């Protein structure tokens, strides 16, 4: 169900982009324009036993549904809240004898809701779920084959006593999921755990340099302003990460979302020179640059393989060697250099080699700050990680300054009530206290820190995952 703020927006026809949403009043950075609960949502296949099917929080111990043995919940409250949406699913799973994939489960949940409420506009929705973009006509051969397989399985799973929908309608709902499935993250916002359909959010168009961001918090999404938005201005979010040359971003958007991006950053190739920046003095030849890009791509492939096998020392070796070569050719904003810095600082932090990691993390943040929008959520998260790494390395001044910077960004992108923002606030207070101590008596500060570390090792970084940060929309790569 939608939970408010819809009077702040109106649907209009956006030039060259079809429908869009525009602001009906002025907004400032950190304002919540609207909040919306999912029309329907499911947990990913790989996490069905560790994530609550109602609130999407990761929990150690979950209760499972006694009937189908498939659905898992935090407690009785979550189980009770789920029953309306789980009731049909529960008996369908028992009848079918197995659990279909997440796409089929989501399509069925959408259609059971349509069966209950009709396919028209539900309360607080600006668009009906079956009227969202579906692009089925643009599917390539591979996607069509997958769609046919999903529809066939769906028909076996869908109970005979439920309302029978036409093949065309079923295909359309799968298309809607493919184009509008929004990634749900766990309570800390660090791992993608499920996919949901949010009809109002589905009306917000893409821009590579958007004026809004979306965050999933406490069972709902919030559309938040990144800066001043004037009355009548179109609201936009970025469907993909900005950190790529415009040509590559356009290809990704065409492949995954079936449209040609005409945003200013793509049309004018803004920041492309920085993304592919090379040293000025002496300027390397085009041939040398081309070779270095190829070497970087090859190294990134080797790194992915080593990471997936858990060979983290091998990853560090590959990164060091690649960085050594890149540094003679690439400028500090070059995306191939930044990818290497990001990987090596994350893996070294995990291996608790904080001193070395902290230097790489600082260089990464310096590069990111020249590229990202100042209120970009991914920038905020990267600065937070770099701040933690520097703090662990004993660079208290740099660590504190980065944690403050990250906190300021996350107040805009995540808001003060998000668990990550609360964590950051606690870290900011902790580092501020340490910094005061450091300024009063540096020698005593180091002595106390040493004692504290010997007694109680500081929290260790999470194991680096091969997964990128949760993307906004759930897409097959």
The last residue of one of the domains, among 160, 190, 220, is 190
Of 73-87, 233-247, 363-377, 454-468, the poorest mean pLDDT is in 454-468
Does 244 map to a domain? no
As a whole-number percent, the residues of the chain with pLDDT over 90 amount to 79
pLDDT for residue 476 is more than 80: no
Distance CA 389, CA 164 (A): 56
Same domain as 409, residue 290: yes
Name the strand (E) or helix (H) holding 195: strand 192-197
Domain boundary at 166, 190, 214, which?
Answer: 190
What number is the average pLDDT over the span 6-20? Answer: 87
Residue 82 has pLDDT above 70, yes or no: yes
What integer pLDDT is reported at residue 467 of this predicted model?
57
Res. 416: pLDDT tops 90: yes
Instruction: Say how far apart CA 230 and CA 25 lie, in whole Å.
Output: 7
The model carries a pTM of: 0.91
Let me know whether 287 and 403 are in one domain.
yes
The confidence score (pLDDT) of residue 1 equals 40
At residue 5 the predicted structure's pLDDT band, cuts being 50, 70 and 90, is confident
If asked whether residues 278 and 423 sit together in one domain, one would say yes
Cα dihedral 371, 376, 377, 379, rounded to 10, equals: 30
What percentage of the chain carries pLDDT values higher than 70? 94
**Domain membership flag for residue 232:** no
Domain for residue 156, yes or no?
yes
Dihedral angle computed from the Cα positions of residues 384, 389, 394 and 400, in that order, rounded to the nearest 10 degrees: -10
Cβ pair 236, 211 in contact under 8 A: yes
Concatenated DSSP letters of 38-104: -SEEEE-GGGTTTB-TTT--B-SS-EE-TTTS--EESSHHHHHHHHHHHHHHHHHHHHHSS---HHH
Asked whether the beta carbons of 127 and 199 are under 8 A apart, the reply is yes
What is the structure's pLDDT at 457?
45
**Shared domain check, 289 and 172:** no
Number of domains within the chain: 2
Q: Are 429 and 301 part of one and the same domain? A: yes
Of 148, 171, 190, the position where a domain reaches its end is 190
Peptide bond into 440 cis (omega under 30): no
pLDDT classification of 3: cutoffs 50, 70, 90? low
Q: Would you call the peptide bond into 143 cis, given omega within 30 degrees of 0 as the criterion?
A: no
Residue 132 vs residue 5, higher pLDDT: 132
When pLDDT is averaged across residues 193-202 and rounded to a whole number, the result is 94
Each residue of 223-251: pLDDT tens digit?
999 999 999 999 999 999 999 999 999 99
Which of 192, 221, 172 has its CA nearest to residue 477?
192
pLDDT band at 309 (very low <50, low <70, confident <90, very high): very high
The yes-or-no verdict on residue 121 having pLDDT over 80 is no
Q: Which residue has the tokens 């300021």?
A: 408
In a domain, 248, yes or no: no
Residue 469 has pLDDT above 50, yes or no: yes
Range with lowest mean pLDDT among 137-151, 294-308, 359-373:
137-151
Mean pLDDT of 107-113: 96
If residue 352 lies in a helix (H) or strand (E), which one and from where to where? none
Asked if residue 387 and residue 278 are part of one domain, the reply reads yes
Within-domain flag for 218: no
Q: Report which of residues 124 and 63 the model is more confident about.
A: 63
Question: CA triplet 41, 193, 315: central angle to 5 degrees?
Answer: 155
| 326-372 residue pLDDT tens | 999 999 999 999 999 999 999 999 999 999 999 999 999 999 999 99
The answer, yes or no, to whether residue 85 has pLDDT greater than 70, is yes
Structural domain that includes position 71: 39-190
- Residue 2: pLDDT band by 50, 70, 90 thresholds? very low
Cα torsion through 157, 161, 166, 170, rounded to 10: -40
Residues 6+ apart with CB under 8 A from 140: none
For residue range 21-72, list pLDDT tens digits in order. Answer: 999 999 999 999 999 999 999 999 999 999 999 999 998 899 999 999 999 9
Domain identity same for 186 and 293:
no
Q: How far apart are CA 367 and CA 362, in angstroms?
A: 9
User: What CATH number does the domain containing 396 carry?
Assistant: 1.25.40.10
Average pLDDT, the chain: 91
Task: Count each helix (H run) and each strand (E run) in the chain, helices first.
Answer: 15, 12
Contact 371, 208 (CB under 8 A): no
Residues pairing with 22 in the sheet: 10, 234
Question: What is the rounded CA–CA span in Å between residue 472 and residue 410?
Answer: 16
Domain match, 184 and 287 both: no
Check residue 456 and give its pLDDT: 52
Residue 158 lies in a domain: yes
Do 176 and 57 lie in a common domain? yes
Mean per-residue pLDDT, 393-397: 93
Residue 466 has pLDDT above 60, yes or no: no
Give the Å distances, CA to CA, from 222 to 35, 58, 349, 370, 375: 4, 20, 32, 27, 16
Classify residue 422: in a domain, yes or no.
yes
318 in the same domain as 170 = no
Quick check: is 47 in a domain? yes
Whole-angstrom distance, CA of residue 255 vs CA of residue 139:
10
Longest dimension (CA), the chain: 76
């Amino acid at each position: 169900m939608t939970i408010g703020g819809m009077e702040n927006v109106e649907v209009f026809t956006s030039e060259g982009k079809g429908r869009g949403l525009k602001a009906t009043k002025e907004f400032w950075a950190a304002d919540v324009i609207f909040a919306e609960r999912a029309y329907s949502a499911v947990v990913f296949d790989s996490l069905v036993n560790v994530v609550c099917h109602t609130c999407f929080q990761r929990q150690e111990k979950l209760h499972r549904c006694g009937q189908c043995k498939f659905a898992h919940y935090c407690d009785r409250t979550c189980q009770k809240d789920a029953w309306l949406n789980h009731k049909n699913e529960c008996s369908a799973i028992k009848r079918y004898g197995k659990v279909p994939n997440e796409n089929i489960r989501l399509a069925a949940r959408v259609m059971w809701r349509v069966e209950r409420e009709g396919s028209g506009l539900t309360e607080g929705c600006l668009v009906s779920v079956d009227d969202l973009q579906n692009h089925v006509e643009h599917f390539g051969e591979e996607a069509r084959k997958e769609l046919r397989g999903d529809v066939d399985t769906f028909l076996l799973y869908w109970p005979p006593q439920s309302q029978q929908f036409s093949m065309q309608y079923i295909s359309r709902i799968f298309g809607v999921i493919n184009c509008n499935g929004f990634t749900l993250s766990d309570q800390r916002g660090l791992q993608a755990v499920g996919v949901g359909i949010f009809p109002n959010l589905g009306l917000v168009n893409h821009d590579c340099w958007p004026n809004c961001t979306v965050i999933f918090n406490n069972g709902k999404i919030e559309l938040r302003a990144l800066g001043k938005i004037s009355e009548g201005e179109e609201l936009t979010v970025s469907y993909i990460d900005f950190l790529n040359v415009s040509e590559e971003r356009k290809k990704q958007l065409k492949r995954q979302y079936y449209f040609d991006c005409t945003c200013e950053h793509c049309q004018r190739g803004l920041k492309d020179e920085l993304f592919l920046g090379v040293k000025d003095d002496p300027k390397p030849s085009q041939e040398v640059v081309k070779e270095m890009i190829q070497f970087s791509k090859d190294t990134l492939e080797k790194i992915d393989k080593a990471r997936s096998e858990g060979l983290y020392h091998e990853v560090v070796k590959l990164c060091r060697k690649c960085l050594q070569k890149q540094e003679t050719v690439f400028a500090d904003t070059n995306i191939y250099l930044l990818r290497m810095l990001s990987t090596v600082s994350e893996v070294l932090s995990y291996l608790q080699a904080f001193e070395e990691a902290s230097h790489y993390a600082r260089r990464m943040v310096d590069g990111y700050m020249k590229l990202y929008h100042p209120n970009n959520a991914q920038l905020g998260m990267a600065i937070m990680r770099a701040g933690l790494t520097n703090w662990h390395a004993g660079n208290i001044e740099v660590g504190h300054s980065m944690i403050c910077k990250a906190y300021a960004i996350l107040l805009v992108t995540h808001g003060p009530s998000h668990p990550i923002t609360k964590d950051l606030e606690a870290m900011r207070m902790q580092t501020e206290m340490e910094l005061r101590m450091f300024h009063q008596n540096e020698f005593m500060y180091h002595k106390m820190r040493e004692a504290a570390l010997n007694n109680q090792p500081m929290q260790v970084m999470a194991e680096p995952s091969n997964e990128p940060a949760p993307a906004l929309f759930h897409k097959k790569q």
